[in-house]
Structure 1
């Protein structure tokens, strides 16, 4: 069996990089995708879906160094369901309920222009280390 997801969107905030106790770099990206269409009443509708993307290894370091809030990225990876619900991560903020989908990235490509990223490096294809326990992620 195989699953993959491809996203093109913008970062909603600056990347957050941490290290596992074993020294493995891991960066979290908050990626928003937008869809625009006309509703049944003919009025334009803008729909935003949020994805929390986890990036590992050298690619995590590159994302942390070269990406920033507003950067456009293409992410290839796999959906990671919430262990409690089996679906997206549900959250509440000031009485407003929302959801974000968790994605473990295999590839992140930087799509923003050079004026947005100084000397950007090409994406590096990395996978989650097979021997890493998810409980070791420091967030």
Structure 2
């Protein structure tokens, strides 16, 4: 029977990522993510279940991730669940399941206000380019609507929402930037 191993997680970093290098000089980034599940039971009581997941990332993406991510920041990671095995300094064999990250996406917002994070974050990450604009100067994609939808002659009677206006100062942002680590070396274990 065929098998499939693919993990997609969205959560907040539980600690600052740690960058190290293998003897082959391959960068390795280790970090943790917390995911939250909230629900209300039949009696109306709120509950929350938090899951902590350790992750590893190899290659150039490891350096990029460690440079721009800090504890509390939200991120989407995609990879494979694998058993990481090693021998401790005292000779004891150890193992742990980890997500070996293949792709990640920086999500907007500053974590920090407890589980779940929130707010708008700032970073030194420079975006690749300005968003492409659609009709009327609004960005194409999110928040832009084609002219004529719900209006007569392309003019809308409703106030404009979600319109793009460049910041007064060019404030760099990493909101929803993706990074695909591409072909990578297999971990040495």
Q: Which band: TM-score by shorter chain?
A: 0.7 to 0.9
Quick one: which of 111, 121, 132 aligns to 1:115?
121
1:37-60 Cα deviation digits (max 9, x unpaired): 123543111100011110111100
Structure 2: gaps (5+ residues): 87-94, 110-119, 128-176
Quick one: which of 69, 72, 75 aligns to 1:70?
72
User: Which sits farther off after the overlay, 113-122 or 42-51?
Assistant: 113-122
The structure that has the greater radius of gyration is 2
- For 1:76 and 1:50, the matched residues in 2 are separated by 15
Runs of 4+ in 1 over 6 A off after TM superposition: none
Greater strand percent: which structure? 1
Aligned counterparts, 1:19-38, within 5 A: 19-38=21-40
Aligned length: 119
Name the Cα RMSD after superposition: 2.4
Structure 1: gaps (5+ residues): 90-100, 135-139
1:57 aligns with 2:112: no
Normalized against structure 1, the TM-score is what? 0.74
Structure 1 residues 21 and 112: CA distance shift in structure 2, 3 A: same
- For 1:38 and 1:83, the matched residues in 2 are separated by 38
User: Which sits farther off after the overlay, 108-117 or 28-37?
Assistant: 108-117
